[in-house]
């Protein structure tokens, strides 16, 4: 079963360590996804920067305003992206 394999890979210590260190999925996830027909697309750096800016400025404030838990979630994601150097 593809989902069971994927779930196993996602919750493995190796995946968690890789995600914490690099913010990316491990090779196992990619192989399973490719086998199951997923096509990967890499955005141009300018597009990533533009869309990330829009999300930070327009989407996240609306999400954060919904509840204290939503605000906390947005803060966590912002911290993660700052740690990865993706937002200032």
Domain count along the chain: 2
H or E element that contains 51: helix 45-54
Look up residue 29 and give its two tokens: 């996830």
Within a domain: residue 27?
yes
Within a domain: residue 55?
yes
Query: Do 53 and 28 share a domain, yes or no?
Result: no
Q: Which domain holds residue 21?
A: 2-35
Look up residue 58 and give its two tokens: 């327009």
Q: How many other β-carbons are positioned within 10 Å of the β-carbon of residue 10?
A: 15
Query: Do 79 and 49 share a domain, yes or no?
Result: yes
Query: Do 7 and 26 share a domain, yes or no?
Result: yes
Query: Do 79 and 50 share a domain, yes or no?
Result: yes
- Predicted model pTM: 0.56
Q: Read off the pLDDT of residues 10-69 as tens digits, 9 standing for 90 and up.
A: 556 665 555 555 555 667 777 888 888 888 778 888 998 999 999 999 999 999 999 999
Look up residue 6 and give its two tokens: 């994927």
Query: Do 74 and 51 share a domain, yes or no?
Result: yes
Confidence (pLDDT) at 1: 42
Say whether pLDDT at 2 is over 80: no
Query: Do 55 and 77 share a domain, yes or no?
Result: yes
Within a domain: residue 40?
no
């Amino acid at each position: 079963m593809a989902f069971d394999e994927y779930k196993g890979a996602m919750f493995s210590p190796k995946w968690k360590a890789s995600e914490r260190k690099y913010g990316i999925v491990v090779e196992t996830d990619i192989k399973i996804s490719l086998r199951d027909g997923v096509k990967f697309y890499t955005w141009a750096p300018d597009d990533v920067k533009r869309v990330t800016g829009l999300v930070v400025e327009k989407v996240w404030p609306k999400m954060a305003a919904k509840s204290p838990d939503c605000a906390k979630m947005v803060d966590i994601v912002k911290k993660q992206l700052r740690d990865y150097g993706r937002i200032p």
